[in-house]
């Protein structure tokens, strides 16, 4: 693989951050990954202290040029905007991550999206359309669509191709402010070809969900024509992040 | 070229497979570096009499480098008839789906023994897809220890554990027990953490449900051992590569 690789969706997990960071560094060396965007996650419904610790752990890694980061935010918490502000302005994060503590179209998210829109920070939203075990605060592409329509000036990154691409991708097909990533162990045999049929290739971004998953996403990209592969592996993430963090080639 | 012990063709009831035709499956596998394998009919899994899916596949695979792995349910009264037909028609393996068909593995003992007597391997499928995307028909969990126990009770049959996860294979072993690599496509560097005998690993892509390139790129750089394992398996099961 000759192209540089930008992984826009990876994690370190609270309680094993150093171990995960070491795995990510090894993967970068083995597969030639130039940039890995991480967020630190812990429990599904973290309290403010857990959020603070997650972001402290992730921020520690940002001095390594391999890493960029999303500040993890629980939008339902009163201090969420301050967490975001601190993450972007003091800790060096380049985007915001919303996981499963609340749905991404709840009104409490609006002030955060306004801030991200004003600062050009992409918002990475975990999305999944499960037939089994959907969490109460777990967004689907329907929620993301509502949020993206309310905030056309904010850039959203819909994770895991929506969790079930046949449900998720049609929901965001007409929204130019929504990118999608193909991260996760749910990424199936012909999900990426379907995504390419439905969206312009400029809005699909490579992501893996490392350390939990890698090959399921990476393998799909290997079979693509070179120009498309380059866009998905690197150029689209560059556009999404406006070349932040010294990523320009 | 890799030999794929777990690949499929056909339709899947919960989503449209865009590359499920035999022609597309073979082309995609070839592009990923797979030259042959044990291919199963996805249709057969859900047909009342699986032969309706397996019969045509047996004919279609003739001369292709792929051999059929036929679907049998040991709780259906005609399994013995279909097993004999499959062996006579050139099938090389039986694939069991206990999580979908809903039987305990001890119910498969007689079938497993008979398959071995006829020179067919038995593949025990742990799961077909990510359980978070299951719909209507929930796959029951398949206990890897019970699958290993089945192999132990049928020493004349080569038994392959298929699409079991890394943690599920931990500590298992047996003279006639094998595992495929389909379930190892998660996490990073799974082969470094695997606690299952490496000389008992067989490559499987799970295409077209999973992307064949994902299964291939996940392999360790030094992967010649898989060729050796394939030969050893084939020798044990069929008396050599034909």
With beta carbons less than 8 A apart as the criterion, state whether B217 and B39 touch.
Answer: no
Contacts B214 to A, Cβ<8 Å: 187, 215-220
With CB atoms and an 8 Å threshold, state whether A186 touches B15: no
Contacts A130 to B, Cβ<8 Å: 132-133
Beta strands in chain B (DSSP E): 2-9, 34-41, 66-71, 93-96, 121-125, 159-162, 177-180, 201-202
DSSP state, residue B15:
B
CA distance B218 to chain A (A): 6
Tokens at A61, concatenated: 């890694």
Q: Averaging pLDDT over each range in A101-110, A184-193, B15-24, which range is the top one?
A: A101-110
Tell me the helices (H) and strands (E) count for chain A, helix number first. 10, 8
pLDDT in tens, B94-105: 999 999 999 999
**CA B217 – CA A220 distance, rounded (Å):** 10
Contacts B15 to A, Cβ<8 Å: 166, 188
| Position A247 pLDDT exceeds 90 | no
Helical (H) or strand (E) element with A27: helix A17-31
With beta carbons less than 8 A apart as the criterion, state whether B37 and B225 touch.
Answer: no
With CB atoms and an 8 Å threshold, state whether A219 touches B214: yes
Look up the ipTM and state it.
Answer: 0.89
Model confidence at B194, in pLDDT bands (50, 70, 90)?
very high
Residue of chain B with shortest Cα separation from A165: B15
SS3 state of residue A224: coil
Contacts A5 to B, Cβ<8 Å: none
Contacts A10 to B, Cβ<8 Å: none
Q: Which of A26, A29, A190, A197 should we substitute to test contact with B (largest number of B Cβ atoms within 10 Å)?
A: A190
**CA A6 – CA A63 distance, rounded (Å):** 17
With CB atoms and an 8 Å threshold, state whether A219 touches B16: no
Beta strands in B33-181 (DSSP E): 34-41, 66-71, 93-96, 121-125, 159-162, 177-180
With beta carbons less than 8 A apart as the criterion, state whether A94 and A105 touch.
Answer: no
With CB atoms and an 8 Å threshold, state whether A185 touches B208: no
**CA A113 – CA A119 distance, rounded (Å):** 10
**CA A125 – CA A156 distance, rounded (Å):** 7
State the residue for tokens 């998905």.
A232
With CB atoms and an 8 Å threshold, state whether B213 touches A132: no
With CB atoms and an 8 Å threshold, state whether A223 touches B32: yes
With CB atoms and an 8 Å threshold, state whether A190 touches B17: yes
Q: What is the pLDDT of residue B241?
A: 63
**CA A23 – CA B188 distance, rounded (Å):** 7
Is cis: bond before A211, omega within 30 of 0?
A: yes
Model confidence at A246, in pLDDT bands (50, 70, 90)?
very low
With CB atoms and an 8 Å threshold, state whether B18 touches A218: no
With beta carbons less than 8 A apart as the criterion, state whether B164 and B204 touch.
Answer: no
Q: What is the pLDDT of residue B239?
A: 82
Contacts A184 to B, Cβ<8 Å: none
With CB atoms and an 8 Å threshold, state whether B132 touches A186: yes
Please, what is the angle between helix A17-31 and helix A48-60, to 10°?
A: 40
SS3 state of residue B34: strand
Q: What are the CA-CA distances from residue A57 to residues A112, A187, A236, B34, B103 (Å)?
A: 22, 28, 27, 43, 47
| Position A248 pLDDT exceeds 50 | no
Ordered DSSP codes for B28-75: HHHHTTEEEEEEEEHHHHHSSSTHHHHHHHHHHTTTSSEEEEEE--TT
Q: What are the CA-CA distances from residue B168 to residues A73, A166, B69 (Å)?
A: 34, 30, 23
Query: What would the mean pLDDT of A169-182 be, rounded to a whole number?
Result: 97
CA distance A221 to chain B (A): 9
Please, what is the angle between helix A141-150 and helix A165-172, to 10°?
A: 10
Percentage of residues of chain A with pLDDT beyond 70: 96
| Position A151 pLDDT exceeds 80 | yes
With CB atoms and an 8 Å threshold, state whether A215 touches B185: yes
Residues in Cβ contact with B155 at an 8 Å cutoff, skipping those fewer than 6 apart: B175, B176
| Position B237 pLDDT exceeds 60 | yes
Residue of chain B with shortest Cα separation from A221: B213
Q: How many CB pairs under 8 A join A and B?
A: 95
| Position A245 pLDDT exceeds 80 | no
Q: What is the pLDDT of residue A243?
A: 66
Beta strands in A131-186 (DSSP E): 156-158, 178-181
DSSP state, residue A129:
-
Helical (H) or strand (E) element with A12: strand A5-13
Residue of chain B with shortest Cα separation from A224: B213
CA distance A199 to chain B (A): 17
pLDDT in tens, B199-232: 999 999 999 999 999 999 999 989 999 999 999 9
With beta carbons less than 8 A apart as the criterion, state whether B215 and B239 touch.
Answer: no
Beta strands in B26-131 (DSSP E): 34-41, 66-71, 93-96, 121-125
Tokens at B22, concatenated: 């035999």
Pick B213's closest partner by Cβ from A23, A163, A223.
A223
With CB atoms and an 8 Å threshold, state whether A128 touches B132: yes
Residues in Cβ contact with B242 at an 8 Å cutoff, skipping those fewer than 6 apart: none
**Count of C-beta atoms within a 10 Å radius of residue B241:** 11
């Amino acid at each position: 693989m000759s192209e540089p690789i930008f992984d826009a969706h990876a994690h370190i997990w609270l309680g094993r951050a150093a171990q995960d960071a070491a795995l990510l560094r090894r993967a970068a060396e083995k597969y030639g990954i130039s940039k890995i965007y991480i967020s630190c996650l812990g429990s599904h419904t973290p309290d403010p202290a857990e959020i603070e610790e997650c972001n402290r752990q992730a921020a520690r890694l940002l001095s390594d040029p391999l890493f960029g980061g999303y500040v993890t935010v629980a939008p339902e918490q009163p201090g969420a905007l301050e967490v975001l502000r601190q993450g972007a302005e003091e800790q060096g994060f380049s985007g915001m991550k919303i996981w499963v503590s609340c749905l991404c179209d709840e009104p409490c998210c609006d002030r955060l999206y306004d801030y991200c829109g004003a600062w050009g920070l992409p918002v990475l939203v975990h999305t999944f359309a499960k037939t089994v075990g959907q969490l109460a605060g777990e967004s689907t592409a329907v929620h993301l669509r509502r949020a993206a329509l309310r905030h056309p000036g904010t850039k959203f990154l819909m994770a895991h191709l929506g969790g079930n691409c046949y449900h998720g991708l049609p929901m965001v097909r007409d929204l130019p402010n929504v990118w999608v990533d193909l991260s996760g162990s749910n990424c199936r045999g012909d999900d990426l070809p379907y995504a390419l049929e439905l969206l312009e290739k400029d809005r699909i971004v490579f992501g893996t969900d490392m350390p939990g998953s890698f090959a399921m996403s990476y393998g799909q990209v290997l079979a693509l024509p070179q120009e498309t592969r380059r866009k998905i592996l690197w150029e689209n993430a560059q556009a999404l992040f406006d070349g932040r963090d010294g990523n320009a080639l | 070229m890799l030999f794929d012990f777990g690949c499929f063709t056909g339709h899947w009831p919960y989503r449209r497979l865009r590359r499920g035709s035999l022609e597309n499956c073979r082309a995609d596998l070839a592009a990923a570096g797979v030259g042959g394998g044990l291919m199963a009919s996805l249709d057969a899994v859900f047909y009342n009499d699986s032969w309706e899916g397996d019969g045509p596949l047996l004919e279609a695979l003739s001369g292709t480098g792929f051999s059929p792995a036929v679907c049998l349910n040991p709780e259906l009264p005609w399994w013995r008839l279909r097993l004999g037909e499959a062996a006579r028609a050139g099938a090389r393996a039986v694939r069991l789906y206990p999580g979908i068909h809903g039987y305990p593995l001890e119910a498969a003992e007689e079938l497993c023994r008979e398959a071995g007597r006829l020179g067919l391997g038995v593949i025990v499928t742990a799961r077909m897809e990510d359980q978070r995307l299951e719909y209507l028909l929930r796959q029951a969990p398949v206990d890897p220890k019970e699958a290993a126990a089945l192999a132990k009770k049928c020493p004349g049959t080569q038994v392959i554990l298929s699409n079991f996860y890394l943690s599920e294979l931990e500590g298992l072993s047996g003279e006639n027990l094998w595992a495929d690599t389909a379930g190892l496509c998660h996490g990073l560097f799974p082969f470094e953490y695997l606690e299952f005998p490496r000389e008992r690993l067989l490559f499987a892509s799970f295409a077209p449900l999973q992307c064949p390139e994902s299964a291939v790129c996940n392999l360790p750089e030094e992967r010649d051992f898989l060729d050796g394992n394939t030969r050893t398996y084939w020798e044990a099961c069929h008396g050599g590569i034909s």
